[in-house]
Amino acid sequence: MPSKDVTVKHACLKCMNWLIPKYGDEIPQALRANMQVFVGCLSSIGMDPSELIREEVCHAIVLLLGASTYEGLLPHLTAISEFMLRASADSSPQVAINACEFWPVYCECPGMRPESPMEQNLNNLLPRLIPTLLAGMVYSADEIAELEAAATEDEEEPDRVEDMRPIFNKGRSDNDDGEDADDGGGGDEDHGWTLRKCSAASLDCVATVLDPINVLNCTLPQLQTNFNSTNVWVQEAAILAFGAVADGCYDAVVPHLRDVFPYLVEHMDSPVPQVRMISCWTLSKYSLWVVEQSSMGTQHLQGVIEKLLQRVLDKNKKVQEHACSALSLLVEEAYDLFVPFLQGVLQNLMFAFHKYQARSLLVLYDTIGTLADCVRSALTPHVQTILPHLLNKWQSLSVDDRQLFPLLECLASVARALGLNFQEYSAAVLQRAMALLEYHLLQETAEAATNPDYDLLSEKERHGEFLVCSIDLLGGLADALKGNFAQLAQETNILNLLFQCLHHENPVRQATLALIGDIALNCPQFIAPALPQLIPAIIANLDQYGHRKVCSNAAWSLGEITKSVANTALFHTSVEPFIEQALQRLVSILNSETIHQNLLTNATITISQLTLVGPDRVAAHFDKFANVFVHALSILEVYAEKETAFMALCLLAERAWDPFLCCCDQFCLAAASWYSMESDDGSPCPPPAIRSAIHQLLAALNQHIKAKGVAIEAYYGQYSPDVVRYLTETYGPF
């Protein structure tokens, strides 16, 4: 890299940077051995006149900090941080972006611990870092020129293809470990990854890892100055920054909200669309505070709702989207407090439904679905306000229009919220959902017959997404109609179609298994005739080496089927012949080296259900899974599931005492885990029968401990005083 030729230096840097992320933890030994030399070279060219060189230098430092070699940078941490702070304000936008990416990586570094040198270093930089990040959040001159040249009222302009986000079907089970996709950019998605976005994300990360008071002390005075700026774009960036610190500094910000919130509401009426947009976004970050003010009356909540509804009907499409998203977040915090405003809100949303272009409609569907999920049966009086519009929209779309995905997901939420009050519309919805399912299965079969390479084509995935959205809607119908679903679907071939779908790609199998579980839960008599064919296919999906969510849904659906046919002749003919095969798969899952909590929960509950109907057969295998099974009882969070699992454990302990003794340490913790449980109906925790059974097991366990010559006090000394106190007070004396 000492070469004076910029092209050579640039090529060398790019080559080195390529090595770092490619090999991750296995960075070449030669680079490890020469790390200090490499860092020295980066330092020597960090102020190179060439923007290209400075870009790659910053990129290299970020990569090194994010890799396992970050320790090699620690001796130079102060100097590197100072360099990256200066580079974050570089005159070259790309250099500044590359440098600004340093701060999120810094915050997520393993060495960034409380009272660590890395934390102390970042705290020392804070008074200069915050102003740099705030300045970076202001739109650049070129961006401002582009925004000012764009139309401020564009609601009647059709969306261009390049404006549309890709539409994917989310599926019912895809969000159990997902995160909010908010990138901290305040809705500036159309400009790609910019310095503004990177600066906002950096401020978000810094606010999360450092003391909130320190962050706010460095941030708020500058924001107050910027709020009062005569430059509207400085004001806009200050509003963005106030939203960016919300997650990390919420409690510290709350005392200031009474002063700042009126400013946000006022700027929702700004003549500049970007200010209206960012005001909606930032307001949504403090939705919890808005709801909490309702303890003194709902006027404050009502005022915010009315202002958001004005922006829902804004004449700028992006403001529409951000207002809908903000309304969704407010509903998720308000729940029942939102009910008095439903009529007005729904009337406004339906008005928006007929004026929105395609892109805004996607967000509106999500808002309606969120509203239904939160207010549930309170939606019933307003069914005529929304359902005809949604069904007419469905009728207007072709069977391969991807806008069906959010629309049908919205319909499924509405159906679940309305329950039996959805009955009037259920026949038409079932017919359309079945037609969509059949169409895409037939299309897929026809295309596969004419194309030997079909499995390799994206068309199979495309058809699969339509299958998933129709299956999820059928699940919504089953949840809504309960036992009435059987009568509705009895003349259809839905069970045959589901059997086909169980041999499809992972997302389709995942949705199909969820639907089978829904049907078993709500109307087991309907699924009964198909169980001899379905159960082997379900068990085949209990594969810990396959798709985790498919496996989890397979375990759940098998548990629901077992529960629904327990103590019936159908159990003996349809489920009992497969218990050994199912147990083999489930035990293998429990004993996996790594297992996701959702899969662990479902596998545990299904084994519990099998135990309740066939305790002797399950007990014969208890020694193979006792420890992990008992451990799982501690993490069960649903009252009914925990009760079922403890009932199963008591049956297993009676029949297989020695395996139970091998996990007695875990059992004491599991027994104490009832401390944090609450039942929906106020039932005691644990239930009396479970409390009595646990008391008997602990008494027998104590006798065993004494027989081994171990003092009871010494044995229980391994647990915290809180655990011992709870065990004694709840289940003692032993």
- pLDDT, one tens digit per residue, over 202-238 is 999 999 999 999 999 999 999 999 999 999 999 999 9
For residues 268-294, give the mean pLDDT: 96
**What local confidence, expressed as pLDDT, does residue 176 receive?**
45
b/e code 403-433 from CB counts within 10 Å (16+ = b): bbbbbbbbbbbbbbbbbeebeebbeebbebb
Name the least confident of 172-181, 243-252, 691-700.
172-181
**Could you tell me which residue, 29 or 310, shows the higher pLDDT?**
310
User: 681: how many CB neighbours lie within 10 A of its CB?
Assistant: 5
* pLDDT number for residue 453: 73
Per-residue pLDDT for 301 more than 80?
yes
Q: Specify the higher pLDDT residue, 474 or 178.
A: 474
Nearest alpha-carbon partner for 88 in 104, 77, 76 = 104
* C-alpha–C-alpha distance, residues 582 and 558, integer Å: 9
Angle, vertex CA 282, rays to CA 285 and CA 203, nearest 5: 85
pLDDT at 20: 79
pLDDT tens digits for range 150-189: 878 888 788 765 555 555 555 554 434 433 445 445 555 5
Task: Give residue 69's pLDDT band: very low, low, confident or very high (50, 70, 90).
Answer: low
The pLDDT of residue 21: 59
Confidence (pLDDT) at 678: 84
Alpha-carbon torsion 91, 97, 98, 103, what sign?
A: positive
343-369 pLDDT, tens digit each: 999 999 999 999 999 999 999 999 999
Q: What's the full length of the chain, in residues?
A: 734
Percentage of residues in the chain having pLDDT higher than 90:
75
Tokens at 125, concatenated: 């930089």
Give the pLDDT confidence score for residue 448 in this predicted structure: 81
Mean pLDDT confidence for 309-333: 97
Flag whether pLDDT at 572 surpasses 90: no
CA dist 189 to 157, 170, 192, Å?
19, 20, 6
Inform me whether the pLDDT recorded for 399 exceeds 60.
Answer: yes
For residue 560, give Cα distances in angstroms to 323, 325, 472, 521, 631: 40, 35, 17, 6, 22
What average pLDDT is seen over the chain? 90
Full DSSP string of 21-77: HHHGGG--HHHHHTHHHHHHHHHHTTT-S-HHHHHHHHHHHHHHHHSGGGGGGGGGH
Residue 476: per-residue pLDDT = 97
How far is the C-alpha of 251 from the C-alpha of 253, rounded, in Å? 5
**pLDDT score of 73:** 80
User: pLDDT-based confidence at 640, cuts 50/70/90?
Assistant: very high
In tens, the pLDDT along 558-568 reads 999 999 999 88
Residue 295 has pLDDT above 80, yes or no: no
Task: Tokens 């946000």: give the residue.
Answer: 264
| Distance of alpha carbon 256 from alpha carbon 249, whole angstroms | 11
Whole-angstrom CA distances from 468 to 386, 437, 505, 590 are 24, 9, 10, 28
3-state SS, one letter per residue, for 63-96: HHHHCHHHHHHHHHHHHHHHHHHHHCCCCCHHHH
Q: Which of 163, 188, 147 is nearest to 361 (CA)?
A: 163
- Mark residue 138 as left, alpha or beta (left: phi above 0; alpha: psi -120 to 50; beta: remaining): beta
Q: Say if residue 457's pLDDT is above 90.
A: no
Looking at per-residue pLDDT, the higher value among 517 and 154 belongs to 517
602-620 confidence digits (pLDDT tens): 999 999 999 999 999 999 9
Report field, pTM of the whole predicted structure over 0.95: no
Per the CB < 8 A criterion, the answer to whether 14 and 56 are in contact is yes
How confident is the model at residue 619, as a pLDDT?
Answer: 97
- Who has greater pLDDT, 300 or 82? 82
Give the least confident one: 4-13, 310-319, 634-643. 4-13
